[in-house]
Amino acid sequence: MRDKYPGLFDLPGSSDGQGRFEPARLTQARVRQSLSKTELAAAVGVSAAAIGQYEAGVNSPRADVVERIATTLKVRPGFFTVGRPLARIDTVHAHFRSLRSARVSDRQRALSTATLVWELTFALERYVKLPEADLPKLLSGTSPGEAAASLRRHWGLPDGPVRHLVATAESRGIVVVVRPLGEVDAVDAFSSVILDRPIVVTTPRRSENVFRHRFSIAHEIGHLLLHAESGEQSTAIEREADEFAAAFLTPAASMDAALPQRLDLAALDRLGRTWGVSPHSLVRRMVERGRTTDSSARRAYQRLAKVDDPSADPTSAYPGEMPTLLRKAAEFAAEQGATVPALAEILRLAPAQVRDLLGEPDQRPVLRLVGDEG
């Protein structure tokens, strides 16, 4: 049995152990494909116990087995070798939105994606200096509202709407990615700090509406500020992140001056478009600022639900607020010779997988063969 596992962070380029099988890589790739050990074993023609031994470092698979595992898990055989950075984080170090419906395996799969995003970020930093993480340190017991005000001061944001929140977050070193629903659908948006790099993962469901997307990003920034050191997962923690998002996007002092004196949904709709928040968020803000009651707010939500028509909402077609940091970094890296194929070689992935992590759509034409019907 191996008596020593690789550390949390292994420097790249180390010749020690090159070619040696890395058990954690097998777990990472298997979890990302949502396969159990038994399912993987059946696919590659070994026992489930053997897969368990590979992942525990008790035994290493033969070269032909590695080939079959790689094919099944859609990675290159070299993916399983040691000698490049490997982030190891647990689900307690991330904050997931769907606390009740998400299974442990769903969370582990989402984190396996996040660790690959971090590895890509690290690979890019070998060629491009990315913004360093720039989040203020808060005292214990800081309230969500105080944290929101502190972040605005720290980032030098003037009073008023936050212009392009995603770009603002990326300029402060927060990596934001939108992953396909199939990868993170069960957990929804989440965030984590992986080796000092804050990462926010969100979904098309969150990003399809710019107001919901902005609030979701602000919610995750709240987690990064308030709960990065906490492994607690609870509805109270989620509520605090919501309070942070509301206070950050619509500061109380500004709202006291801007909110209407009565529940006027048309006025809230106009105000929301100025501040980049939904009327629902402003209704909640009116309750918080004592402008209306919970019962009146419930009736307002019902009225909003009746008139909700995403196809008629001009903001539904707004393509902005999408992350660009990694793609721009990849463009600069390519100018330094680190093209996508080179990055894929570093990460032991296929170039298409790297483009996918960068958020680049697959623009290859689709070939469909038509059978002979004659």
pTM for the full predicted model: 0.84
Q: What are the C-alpha distances in Å from 181 to residues 19, 184, 188, 372?
A: 34, 5, 8, 36
Contact 162, 168 (CB under 8 A): yes
Across the chain, mean pLDDT equals 86
Please enumerate in sequence order all residues whose Cβ is within 8 A of that of 244, keeping only pairs 6 or more positions apart, or say none.
144, 145, 147, 148, 218, 219, 221, 222, 225, 226
What six digits make up the tokens of 258? 């801007």
Strands 175-178 and 190-194: unpaired
DSSP string for residues in 324-363: -HHHHHHHHHHHTT--HHHHHHHHTS-HHHHHHHHT----
Cα(121)–Cα(324) distance, rounded to whole angstroms?
13
pLDDT exceeds cutoff 90 at 187: no
pLDDT exceeds cutoff 90 at 297: yes
Cα(86)–Cα(30) distance, rounded to whole angstroms?
15
- Give pLDDT tens digits for 40-99: 999 999 999 999 999 999 999 999 999 999 999 999 999 999 888 787 777 666 777 765
Q: What are the C-alpha distances in Å from 76 to residues 29, 33, 192?
A: 11, 14, 27
pLDDT exceeds cutoff 60 at 199: yes
Cα(243)–Cα(233) distance, rounded to whole angstroms?
16
- Position 200 scores a pLDDT of 95
